[in-house]
Amino acid sequence: MGKITKVLPVAEHLLAAVRRLDAGRNLRGAVVPLTGRSRRTGKTRLVRSCGGRLVRAGEKRGDGVGNTKCGKGTKVVNVVDSQGTPLAVHLDSANRSEVKLIEPTLDNLQIPDKVPEHLLYDKAADSDPLRRRLLDERGIDLVCPHRKNRKRKPTQDGRACRRYKRRYKVERTHSWFHNFRRTIIRYETTLARYAGWIYLACALITLRRL
């Protein structure tokens, strides 16, 4: 990329365009003082130029972006019904624990009067306080396998985990999200804009399921 970012002489390229636009106007007199060598500071230095886009040096950042083992990203937590139709979506930074994201996601349910009886989740939601809060406050039974490094006594037996075999429907919905390019990779710096693409994908998935 170094060949693309070489310094261009301002007098040669800028004044050539001014001559074409100088029909009876004294534009050259105003532009000539700018053709001298100017020092570029570190903040305004152009680092790369590729494909018509200007890319400046700096870390990847944005609203709702957090560090993970594989880099930086954003978590998209959703609730689906038995047919895989999205019912609720919540977006947050990727460095937040999923135990803290389940309840905000349930608050976004589009049908609040129809609370699910069972909530199937993976091992990331294995938390006894979360199980008690969901059961006492919402009447939802959390069904998820226990972690291997769990030190407390198990709170559910194998009979409850029989329902866990239906969790493939959630993973299937996640694969449907991958059919949309703007939901796989986040290009937006603000979380609200990225959430708009997620909601649009949920609407398209819902229409296809009808």
Which residues of the chain are under the pLDDT cut of 70? 1-61, 112, 158
Residue 42 lies in a domain: yes
Q: Are residues 114 and 37 in the same domain?
A: no
Q: Are residues 169 and 197 in the same domain?
A: yes
Q: Are residues 35 and 81 in the same domain?
A: no
Residue 189 lies in a domain: yes
CATH number of the domain residue 79 falls in: 3.30.420.10
What's the domain count of the chain?
2
Q: Are residues 127 and 44 in the same domain?
A: no
Residue 4 lies in a domain: no
In angstroms, the Cα distances linking 141 to 104, 121, 128, 153, 161 are 16, 11, 12, 18, 11
From the list 170, 165, 115, 120, the residue with the least C-alpha distance to 143 is 120
Residues 133-178 pLDDT 10s? 999 999 999 988 888 888 888 877 767 778 888 889 999 999 999 9
Q: Are residues 189 and 94 in the same domain?
A: yes
Residues spanned by the domain of 31: 10-55
The sheet that has 86-93: what strands, in order across it?
Answer: 66-68, 71-80, 86-93
Residue 106 lies in a domain: yes
Element (H, E) at 91: strand 86-93
From the list 163, 155, 157, the residue with the least C-alpha distance to 120 is 163
For the entire predicted model, the pTM comes to: 0.66
Q: Are residues 48 and 70 in the same domain?
A: no
Which residues share a beta bridge with 50?
53
Q: pLDDT at position 189, please?
A: 85
